[in-house]
A and B are shown apart, each in its own frame.
Chain A
Amino acid sequence: MSTPTRTPAGAPSSVGGPGGRIGDDAQRPDGVLKVRGEFAYASDLWMDDMLWGVTLRSPHPYARIRSVDVGPALAVPGVHAVLTSDDVPGEKVYGLELADQPVLALDVVRYQGEPVALVAADHPDTARRAAARIVVDYDVWEPVTDARAALGHPTWNQVHDAPAAVTELSRESAHLHPHGNLVRHLKVRKGDPEPTADVVVVGEYEVGMQDQAFLGPESGLAVPGEDGGVDLYVATQWLHVDQRQICSALAMPPEKVRLTLAGVGGAFGGREDLSMHVHACLLALHTGKPVKMSYNREESFFGHVHRHPATMRYEHGATRDGDLVYVKAEIFLDGGAYASSTPAVVGNAGTMGLGPYVVPNVHVDCYGAYTNNPPCGAMRGFGSVQTAFAYEAQMDALAAELGMDPVELRCRNAMELGSETPTGQVVDSPAPVAELLRRLVAMPLPPEPATGDDVDLRHMPGGVSNTTHGEGVRRGVGYAVAYKNVAFSEGFDDYSTARVRLEVVGGEAVATVHTAAAEVGQGLVTVEQQIARTELGVDAVVVHPKDTAVGSAGSSSASRQTYVTGGAVKAACEAVRGRVLERARGLVGRPAGDLRLDGGKVVSDLEGVALPLADVLGDDAVEETVEWRHRPTQALDPDTGQGFAHVQYAFSAHRAVVDVDTELGLVKVVEMACTQDVGKAINPQAVVGQIQGGTAQGLGLAVMEEILVRDGRVQNPSFTDYLIPTVLDMPPMRIEVLEYADPHAPYGLRGVGEAPNISSGPAVLAAIRQATGLPLRRVPVRPEHLTGT
Chain B
Amino acid sequence: MEFLQPATWEEALEARAASRDAVPIAGGTDVMVGINFGRLRPALLLDLTRVPELQQWGTDDGAVRLGAGVPYARVITELGDRLPGLAMAARTIGSPQIRNRGTVGGNLATASPAGDAHPALLAAGAEVEVASVRGTRRIPVADFYRGVKRSALADDELVAAVRIPPRTGPQQYSKIGTRNAMVIAVAAFGLALHPDRRAVGTGIGSAAPTPRRAPAAEEFLAGELDGLWESRAELPPATAARFGELVAGAAAPIDDVRGTARYRVHALSVMARRTLTWAWADYRKGDPACA
Q: Residues of A at under 8 Å CB distance from B? A: 125, 128, 296, 298, 462-469, 471-472, 663-666, 668, 703-704, 708, 715-716, 720-721, 723, 725-729, 782-784, 787, 789
Known A704-B179, A789-B263; contact A467-B174, beta-carbon cutoff 8 A: yes
Closest CB in chain B relative to A467 CB, distance in Å: 5
Chain B residues touching A, range:
35 or more
A665:B263 contact, CB within 8 angstroms:
yes
B75 at interface (Cβ–Cβ under 8 A)? Answer: no
The 8 A-B residue pairs whose C-beta atoms are closest, nearest first, are A728-B180, A789-B263, A463-B180, A789-B262, A465-B175, A726-B181, A728-B181, A716-B257
Which one, B177, B263, B277, contacts A465 given CB within 8 A? B177
**Closest CB-CB distance, A261 to chain B, in whole Å?**
28
Whole-angstrom distance from the CB of B237 to the nearest CB of chain A?
Answer: 12
**Is B88 among interface residues, defined by CB-CB distance under 8 A?**
yes
In contact, B263 and A464 (Cβ under 8 angstroms): no
User: What chain A residues lie within 8 Å of B50 (beta carbons)?
Assistant: none
Question: Which of B183, B267, B274 sits near A783, CB closer than 8 Å?
Answer: B267
9 further interface pairs, Cβ-Cβ under 8 Å (given A465-B183, A703-B178): A128-B38, A465-B175, A468-B274, A664-B271, A708-B257, A723-B178, A723-B183, A787-B267, A789-B266
**Complex Cα gap A11–B225 (Å):** 70
CA distance A783 to B37 in the complex (A): 30
Is B172 interfacial (CB-CB < 8 Å)? yes
Residue of A298, A464, A721, A729 touching B92 (CB-CB under 8 A): A464
Interfacial chain A residues near B263, Cβ < 8 Å: 665, 783-784, 787, 789
Interfacial chain B residues near A298, Cβ < 8 Å: 37
User: When chains A and B are docked, how far (Å) is the Cα of A462 from the Cα of B262?
Assistant: 19
Q: Are B37 and A726 in contact (CB under 8 A)?
A: no
User: Considering only CB atoms, which chain A residue lies closest to B274 in the complex?
Assistant: A471
Indicate if the CB atoms of B179 and A723 lie closer than 8 Å: yes
Q: Smallest Cβ distance from B283 to chain A, in angstroms?
A: 15
- Determine whether the beta carbon of A466 is less than 8 Å from that of B260: no
Instruction: Find out whether the CB atom of B37 lies under 8 angstroms from the CB atom of A666.
Output: no
For the complex, is B284 an interface residue (Cβ under 8 Å from A)? no
Quick one: closest A residue to B261, CB to CB?
A789
B91 at the A/B interface (Cβ < 8 Å)? yes
Kindly report which residue of chain A lies nearest to residue B172, judged by CB atoms: A466
**Residues in B13-56 with C-beta less than 8 Å from chain A:** 36-38
Tell me the minimal C-beta distance from B133 to chain A in angstroms: 34
Roughly how many angstroms separate A466 CA and B260 CA in the complex, as a whole number?
A: 21
Which chain A positions have C-beta within 8 A of B182? 726
Q: A128-B38, A729-B181 are in contact. Are A663 and B270 (CB under 8 A)?
A: yes
The answer to whether A726 touches B179 (Cβ under 8 A) is yes
Q: Which residues of B contact A716 (CB under 8 A)?
A: 257
Indicate which residue in A663, A664, A668, A720 contacts B180 across the interface (CB closer than 8 Å): A668
Q: Is the CB of B176 within 8 A of A783?
A: yes
* Main SS class of interface, A: loop
Evaluate contact between B257 and A729: CB separation under 8 angstroms: no
| 16 pairs of residues in contact across A and B, judged by CB atoms under 8 Å | A125-B38, A296-B37, A462-B177, A464-B91, A465-B92, A465-B183, A467-B271, A664-B267, A664-B270, A720-B184, A721-B257, A721-B258, A726-B179, A728-B180, A729-B180, A787-B267
Residue among A128, A469, A783, A787 making CB contact with B278, cutoff 8 Å: A469
Let me know if B259 is at the binding interface, CB within 8 A.
yes
Residues from chain B with a CB closer than 8 A to the CB of A463 are 180-181
Specify which of A296, A465, A467, A727 is in contact with B274 (CB 8 Å cutoff).
A467
In whole angstroms, what is the CA distance A703 to B173 when docked? Answer: 24
Q: For B270, what are the chain A residues with a Cβ–Cβ distance below 8 Å?
A: 472, 663-664
CA distance A715 to B262 in the complex (A): 19
Please measure, in the bound complex, the distance between the C-alpha atom of A466 and the C-alpha atom of B93, giving whole angstroms. Answer: 13
Complex interface: chain A residues within 8 A of B12 (CB): none
The B240-291 residues at the A interface (CB cut-off 8 A) are: 257-260, 262-263, 265-267, 270-271, 274-275, 277-278
- Enumerate chain A residues within 8 angstroms of B271, measured Cβ to Cβ: 467, 664
CB nearest to A464 among chain B residues: B91
Q: Is B66 an interface residue (CB 8 A)?
A: no
B178 with A783: CB separation less than 8 A: yes
Q: How far is the CB of A788 from chain B (nearest CB, A)?
A: 9
Contact B183 A666 (CB under 8 A): no
- Smallest Cβ-Cβ distance to A703: which chain B residue: B178
Q: Which residues of A contact B262 (CB under 8 A)?
A: 784, 789
Residues of A close to B178: CB separation below 8 A: 666, 703-704, 723, 782-783
- Nearest chain B residue, comparing its CB with the CB of A715: B257
Least CB distance from B121 to A in Å reads 17
Contacts of A704 in B (CB 8 A): 178-179
Query: Does B70 interact with chain A (Cβ within 8 Å)?
Result: no
**Any A CB within 8 A of the CB of B86:** no
The residue in chain B whose Cβ has the minimal distance to the Cβ of A468 is: B274
Q: B38: which A residues are within 8 A, CB to CB?
A: 125, 128
A783 touches B186 (CB 8 A): yes
User: Taking the nearest CB of chain A, how far is it from the CB of B260, in angstroms?
Assistant: 5
Q: Quick one: closest B residue to A706, CB to CB? A: B257
Q: Tell me the complex Cα distance, A559–B267, Å.
A: 42
Contacts of B259 in A (CB 8 A): 782-784
A296 to chain B: closest residue by CB? B37
What A residues does B179 contact at CB under 8 A? 704, 723, 725-726, 729
Instruction: Name the distance in Å between A16's Cβ and chain B's nearest Cβ.
Output: 35
Q: How far is the CB of B65 from chain A (nearest CB, A)?
A: 26
Q: Is the CB of A466 within 8 A of B181?
A: no
Taking CB atoms, residues of chain B closer than 8 Å to A703 are 178
User: How far is the CB of B190 from the nearest CB of chain A, in Å?
Assistant: 11
Chain B 171-207 interface 0/1 with A at a Cβ cutoff of 8 Å (1 = within): 0111111111111101000000000000000000000
Q: Which residues of A contact B37 (CB under 8 A)?
A: 296, 298
* List of A residues within 8 angstroms of B91 by Cβ: 464
Q: Which residue of A lies closest to B36 (CB)?
A: A296
Q: How far is the CA of A207 from the CA of B228 in the complex (A)?
A: 51
Given the complex of chains A and B, what is the CA–CA distance between A469 and B275 in angstroms? 10
B contact residues around A467 at 8 Å (CB): 174-176, 271, 274
* A416 CB → nearest B CB, Å: 39
**Nearest-CB distance from B101 to chain A (Å)?**
16
In the bound assembly, the distance between CA atoms of A720 and B257 in angstroms comes to 11
Smallest CB gap from B88: residue in A: A466
Give bound CA distance, A225 to B176, whole Å: 55
Residues of A within 8 A of B278 (CB): 469
- Measured between beta carbons, the chain B residues less than 8 angstroms from A469 are 274, 278
Most buried by A among B180, B266, B267, B278: B180
In the bound complex, how far is the Cα of B96 from the Cα of A726, in angstroms? 13
Which residues in B have their C-beta under 8 angstroms from that of A663? 270
Docked Cα-Cα span, A704 to B274, in Å, equals 25
Report the bound CA distance from A125 to B36 in whole Å: 10
The distance from the CB of A579 to the nearest CB of chain B, in whole angstroms, is: 56
User: Least Cβ distance of A283 to chain B in Å?
Assistant: 20
Q: From A661, which residue of chain B is reached at the shortest CB distance? A: B270
Minimal Cβ-Cβ distance residue in A for B33: A720
Candidates B177, B257, B260, B274; contact of A784 at CB < 8 Å = B260
Tell me whether B184 and A466 are in contact (CB under 8 A): no
Q: Cα distance A463–B177 when bound, in Å?
A: 9
Closest to B184 in A: A720
Chain A: CB-nearest residue to B94: A720
**Residues of B contacting A471 with CB < 8 Å?**
274, 277
Closest chain-A Cβ to B205's Cβ sits at a distance in Å of 12
Distance from A710 Cβ to chain B, minimum over Cβ atoms (Å)? 9
User: CA of A666 to CA of B36 in the docked complex: distance in angstroms?
Assistant: 33
Bound-state Cα–Cα, A332 to B187, Å: 35
> Shortest CB–CB separation between residue B280 and chain A, in angstroms?
13
Please indicate the chain A residues that have their CB under 8 angstroms from the CB of B173 in the complex. 466
Task: Give A723 to B184 CA distance when docked, in angstroms.
Answer: 10
Contacts of B275 in A (CB 8 A): 466
Interface centre among A462, A467, A725, A729 (most CB of B within 10 A): A467
Q: Of residues B88, B177, B278, which shows the largest number of chain A Cβ atoms within 10 Å of its Cβ?
A: B177
Q: Which of A463, A466, A472, A668 has the most CB of B within 10 A?
A: A466
B88 surroundings in chain A (CB, below 8 A): 466
* A468: B residues at CB distance < 8 A: 274
Nearest CB in chain B to that of A728: its residue: B180
Interface residues of B in 63-78 (CB under 8 A from A): none
